[in-house]
Amino acid sequence: MRSITIAVSAIAFCGAVAVALADEKPIQLKKAAGADKVEANCAACHTLDYIPMNSPFLNAAGWDAEVTKMINAFGAPISADDAKIIGDYLKANYGQ
């Protein structure tokens, strides 16, 4: 009986999460050179919501540090060429 209760609760929870996610609007990055690299590389691991959310706090050095952290600390498989493009895009469009 306990297994059935857990299963029903899990199904109800998943349904509630799906409904909540259905109301979310996908983030639209600023259209500029490099946006495609950001979308392809960054969104592979996390939501792009972090970009505008963190932009009030990050200057050029901060964005460079974030890109480096994603590669070195979290193992993001981003090439050096793409990392430069991503950093340049973030600094130009979401920097302070």
CA distance 92 to 38: 13
pLDDT attached to residue 34:
97
Q: Which residues are CB-contacts of 50 (< 8 A; sequence separation ≥ 6)?
A: none
Number of Cβ within 10 Å of residue 68's Cβ equals: 14
Sort residue 75 into left (φ over 0), alpha (ψ -120 to 50) or beta. left
Number of domains observed in the structure of the chain: 1
Mean pLDDT (the chain, rounded): 86
Q: Identify whether 13 is part of a domain.
A: no
pLDDT one-digit tens code per residue, 33-74: 999 999 999 999 999 999 999 999 999 999 999 999 999 999
Q: Which helix (H) or strand (E) holds 90?
A: helix 80-94
CATH label of the domain that carries residue 55: 1.10.760.10
pTM reported for the whole predicted model: 0.73
Domain interval for residue 73: 27-94
